[in-house]
Amino acid sequence: MSASNSPRSLRLVPDILGAIYFITAVTFLVTCSDLVAATTKAHPYAMGFAKFAVLATFGECLKNRILTAQWIPPRLALRVIIWGIIGMWITAAFPLVDGGVKTLVARDLWPAEPAPFWMSTWLNVFAGYGFFMMFTHYWTDTMLVEGWLWPWSLFGRPASARWAKIVLISIVVFWIPAHTITFMLPAVWRILFAAFLGIALGLILSFAAKRR
């Protein structure tokens, strides 16, 4: 009995370690919130990189666990770097959109309320996050598997058409509502919340890129 259960127990070890990793990261971010906030203000780009490298990469690993039964995807170190760079990108994008929408409102060029919803709409629809940034991730994710290729070489692929459909649907039903909540938070916590959303981003993009 014990011998037959041993392989099953061993298979549970990576899942337990994955859960410990996620719980430890969340616990640290919650219990050390003052330190996280102060460090974010002092080093916004570095913290944007770190938050996405830690949390969004976990989404990448979770996706790989669901699809292949293995936690560690190929070229994990490069994936960490890519997610970190995306975190830096979002660190700049949030205040850019925030300030831009407020400027439009001040000049009577855009409705003032509901401000978080309009900021989310600009971020996802007009400012490029909703499609351009996710396409960039899709492109780099494809290169990790196939090697170097030009981004336009993805156009016309059946998998790319399926990816685009899922991404467009996710913008409407998930990302605009999710980032509306993001812009309701104090600015210092927006990147951290977005990093948690990065777990969902990794799942959405990876499932969309997976040909069935």
pLDDT by residue (tens digit) across 59-85? 888 877 877 778 888 888 888 998 899
pTM: 0.79
DSSP codes joined into one string, 116-184: HHHHHHIIIIISSIIIIIHHHHHHHHHHHHH----GGGGTT-HHHHHHHHHHHHHIIIIIHHHHHHHHH
Instruction: Give the highest mean pLDDT range of 14-23, 67-76, 183-192.
Output: 183-192
List, for residues 130-157, the tens digit of each pLDDT value. Answer: 677 788 888 888 888 888 888 888 888 8
Q: In degrees to the nearest 10, what's the CA dihedral of 117, 118, 124, 126? A: 170
CA 71 to chain centre: 18
pLDDT of residue 117: 93
